Homo-oligomer: A and B are copies of this chain.
Amino acid sequence: MELFNYFRSSASYRVRIALALKGLDYDYRAIHLLKQEQHSEAYADLSAARLVPLLRDGDAVLSQSLAIMEYLEETHPEPPLLPADALGRARVRSLALDIACEIHPLNNPRVLRYLVRELGVSDDNKDRWYRHWVETGLEVVERRLVNEAGTGSFCHGEQATLADCTLVPQIFNARRFDCKLDHVPTVMRIFEHCMAQPAFANTQPAACPDAE
């Protein structure tokens, strides 16, 4: 397998964690987003959306980090990244989507670029926007982790799931943009627990071959 990704892309990091948790080997293909390498002709042939990550498995090319992780789960079921029961699976998926749909899309580079270049938003206001969605979005996740019975050492029970694969990269982004995090102690307790596991630590942005 080949993973086309970027060290700082949090969607890429999600997939790196999932691959590591499942003990799967892959070739790391760096696509430098700030150098706009995703718009190169060679990459555009692979990616309709010009986004990372992209997983090539034989002839197949897969996009969208959550769909890639579900594919890995179906093709390499051990260790499982989703619980066995339908309600548990729904909980894990919805936690992942609370981040992947409610926080991350508002803060990716092309969105920030559009705010500044097309709408004339100041850099200060752009940063305020970034922090607003991270801080309020993580507050929702915190409320769920505190109130829902499924929470354990990880987001759901005692094994890492797709929810943890999605949460941890979001915290890296939050720190990079100086977001407040002291209002989400349960999130941070789970983050620290994850970062003590090699699958999370060894795939973090700073450990990537293209890290700067």
Contact = CB atoms under 8 A, between A and B. Distances in A.
Interface of A: 48-49, 51, 60, 62-64, 66-68, 70-71, 74-75, 86-87, 89-91, 93-94, 97-98, 100-102, 104-106, 111, 114-115, 118-119, 121, 125, 128-129, 132, 140, 143-144, 147
25 contacts: A48-B140, A48-B143, A48-B144, A49-B140, A62-B87, A63-B98, A64-B93, A64-B94, A64-B98, A66-B93, A66-B97, A67-B93, A67-B97, A68-B94, A70-B90, A71-B87, A71-B89, A74-B86, A74-B89, A75-B86, A97-B100, A101-B104, A106-B106, A106-B111, A119-B129
Contacts of A60: 87, 90
Query: Which residue of A75, A101, A129, A143 has the most chain B CB atoms within 10 A of its CB atom?
Result: A101
B62 A94 contact: yes
A119 B66 CA distance: 31
Contacts of A66: 93, 97, 101
Copies in the assembly, this chain: 2
Contacts of A106: 105-106, 111
Given A67-B94, A89-B74, A101-B64, A119 B114 contact: no
A39 to B, nearest CB: 13
A51 B98 CA distance: 10
A48 B86 contact: no
B100 A101 contact: yes
A-side interface mostly: helix
A19 B125 CA distance: 41
- Interface pairs A-B: 5 shortest CB-CB: A67-B93, A64-B94, A105-B105, A67-B94, A64-B97
A106 B70 CA distance: 24
B102 A129 contact: no
B128 A118 contact: yes
Contacts of A62: 87, 90-91, 94
Contacts of A93: 64, 66-67, 70
